Amino acid sequence: MDKHDLSIEEQLGQFHNAIREYIITLLLFILLCIGSYVIISHYKKKVESEDMYAGQEDAIVYRISLWLCVLTSAVSAAAVMLLPISIISNEVLHLYPNSYYIKWLNSSLINGLWNQVFFFSNLALFILMPFAYFFTEAEGFSGSRKGVCARVKETMIVLFLLAILVQGLFWVASALINDDKYSKQTLFDMWNIYLPYLYSCVSFLGVLVLLLCTPVGFARTFTVMAQLVVKPKFFRDIEEELCTMRLERENILRKIQYKTLGNEISLHLLGFHHTIFTIQQIANGHANSECLQDQLSETEHEIYQLEKRQRVSPLRRNLLFPIVMLILLALTVFSMLLVVHNTLLLLVGIKALPKGAKDAVIGITSLSAFGVFGAVVEILLILYIMSASVVGLYSLPVFCNLKPVSHNTAMDHIIGNCIVILILSSALPILTKTLGITNFDLIGNFGSMDWLGNFYIIFSYNLIFAVCTALCLVTKFTATVRHEIYDRLKTAFRREKRSVSFSASSTINGGVKEE
C-alpha cells in the first residue's frame, strides 16, 4: 500500500507510534548508559594514580575513550536484556491484548529494539572500540603538530588500513567457504553482505567462547556465592578466624614498633658515622615499614568483614546459605536437563533449527506451557547463564589476567573487557535459542545467520554443552571426596611400604646376628 493511500488518521497514528518508540528507546538507552558509567567508574583507575595522564591532552583522550566504553557497555547490557524484555512483552500482550495502557508495547517496538541492538553492536565492535584503543595509543605522526586532532587523524588512518585488511581477509574466507557465492557482491555491497557475514563469524566465535566459559562458570558460581553468603557455624567458624586475625594485627603492630625504634637508632648512629651501609639500612627499613602498613590495612579490612559477618542473625546465617546453594543447584540442573531435552528433540527431528524470521509478531501465544511462571523461569535461566558465563570467563587461564580490579583498572584493560563482554552478550540470544532455553524466535539479523541452519553444528553444540556441564558439576562436587580418598590411599601405601622395608631390614639384621 502506498503512503499516499493512507488516511490522515493512519499517518498520524504511525507518526505517533514512531515518536513513542524513539522516546522509549532513548530513555532505556540513557538508563543503561548511567548504569554503565557507574560500573566503569567503579573499576577505572583513579585520576591521581593514573600514570598515563601527562597533561590536558591525555585527559581529553582518555575521557573520550571512557565514554566510548560506556556506550559499548550500554549496548552489551541491551543485548543481554533483549530476550527478557521480549519474553515479558509477549506474556503481557498475551494476557492483556486489548488494554489501553499497554498499546505502546507492540511488535514494532520489539523488532526495532532487536534491529537497533544489532546495529549498535556492529558499530561498537568494529568502529568504536578499535577507535578507542588506537586513540589512546596514538601520539600523532612524526613531524605533524601535536594535539588531539593529530591523534584523531592517526587513529582514523590506522582504522582505515585495518578495515581494508580485515575486509580482504573475510572476502577471501567467504569466497572459499561459500564457493564464490558472495565474493563479487561483497566488494560492492559491504553493508548488506560483508558486515552481517563478519558479525556472523564474530557471533559464532562468541558462542564458542560461551561453550568454554559457561560450564566452568556453573561450577565456579557455587564457590563465589559461598564467599559472598555467610556460612553456618559448622561450615565456617568466624570467631576462630576473627581471633586469628586479631593476633595477626597485634603481631604486625609489634613489628612496626620495632622497625620504628630501629630507624630511630639508625638515625642516631648516622649523626656520628655517616656510613653508606647505615643509609641503605634506613631505606630498607622504610620499605619494610610500607609493606607492614599495607599488611596492616589488609588485616584491618579482613577484621572489619569478619566482624560484619559475625553480627549476622543466626536465622540468616543458618538458612540463607542452604537456600542459595539449592537455588543455584536447581537452576544448573534444570538448564542441563533443558539442553539434554533439546538435544533429543533435535536428534529425533521434532525441534526446528534456531534460524528465525526477519520480523515476528508477539502476543499471539504464550512461549511456555506453564504460562507466566514458565516465562519467569526462562528469564531467570537466561540471566543465570549470562552471569555464569562471565564468572567462568574470568576463571579461564587466558582471560583471568583481564579481570577488572576496583579503582585499579587501566584504560586498555577496560577496553578489552568491553570488547569481550560485548561479544558474549551479543552471542547470548543465539546461545539460549540454540540450547533450547527459550522458544522465542531470533528477530532480525540475529536469526539470519547461515550457520544457525546447520544441523550438525547445532546438534554438536548441544551435546558438547551438556557433557561439559555434567563433567564440571561432577568434578566440583566430588573433588573433595576424590582428594581425600587419594590422600588416604597414598598414606596407606606409604605405611605398607615402610612396614615391608622394616620387616626386610629386621630379617637381614637377624641373619647377621646369627652368623
C-alpha cell belonging to residue 512: 647377621
User: DSSP label at 289?
Assistant: H
- Which residues, other chains included, contact 473 with Cβ-Cβ below 8 Å and sequence gap of 6+? 218, 219, 332, 336
Distance of CA 469 to CAs 67, 335, 388, 480, 482, Å?
A: 37, 9, 12, 18, 19
Q: Using 50, 70 and 90 to split pLDDT, how confident is the model at 505?
A: low
Task: Please give the full DSSP string across 153-165, using - where no structure is assigned.
Answer: HHHHHHHHHHHHH
Average pLDDT over residues 468-480: 79
Whole-prediction pTM = 0.77
Q: Report the share of the chain in percent with pLDDT over 90.
A: 9
d(CA 371, CA 38): 36
Task: Find how far residue 389's CA is from the centre of its chain.
Answer: 6
Residue 51: predicted pLDDT: 47
Going by pLDDT thresholds of 50, 70 and 90, the confidence category of residue 317 is low
**Coil vs helix vs strand at 6:** coil
| Highest averaged pLDDT of the listed ranges 167-181, 403-417, 488-502 | 403-417
Bridge partners (DSSP) listed for residue 409:
44
Look at residue 44 and give its three-state secondary structure: strand
Tens-place pLDDT, residues 223-260: 888 777 766 554 555 666 677 777 777 777 777 776 66
Q: What whole-number distance in Å separates Cα of residue 183 and Cα of residue 174?
A: 6
Mean pLDDT (whole number) for 185-189: 54
Q: pLDDT-derived band of residue 290, with 50, 70 and 90 as boundaries?
A: low
More confident residue, 20 or 179: 20
- Predicted confidence at residue 75, as pLDDT, reads 93
Nearest to 354 by CA among 443, 483, 273, 417: 443
Which of 399-408's residues contact partners 24+ apart within 8 Å by CB, and which partners?
399/213, 404/43, 405/43, 406/42, 406/43, 407/42, 407/43, 407/44, 407/45, 407/46, 408/45, 408/49
Q: Which residue has the cell 507510534?
A: 17
- Domain coordinates of the chain in residue numbers? 3-226+350-474, 238-311
CA dist 310 and 306 (Å) reads 6
Residue 173 neighbours by CB under 8 Å, 6+ apart: 201
Question: How many helices (DSSP H) and strands (DSSP E) are in the chain?
Answer: 13, 0
Average pLDDT over every residue of 407-411: 84
Mean pLDDT of 416-442: 88
420 Cβ contact partners less than 8 Å away, ≥ 6 residues apart: 393, 399, 402
Query: What is the phi-psi region of residue 269: left when phi exceeds 0, alpha when psi lies from -120 to 50, beta otherwise?
Result: alpha
> For the chain, how long is the longest CA-to-CA vector?
124
Q: Which of the two residues, 51 and 195, has the higher pLDDT score? A: 195
| Across 411-432, average pLDDT | 90
Give CA 414 to chain center in angstroms: 12
Q: Specify whether the CB–CB gap between 207 and 461 falls below 8 A.
A: yes
Distance CA 401, CA 186 (A): 37
Summarize pLDDT for 325-384 with one digit per residue, the tens: 888 888 888 888 888 888 888 888 777 777 766 666 777 777 777 778 888 888 999 999
User: Chain-wide mean pLDDT for the chain?
Assistant: 77
Cβ neighbours of residue 421 under 8 Å, at least 6 residues apart? 73, 76, 390
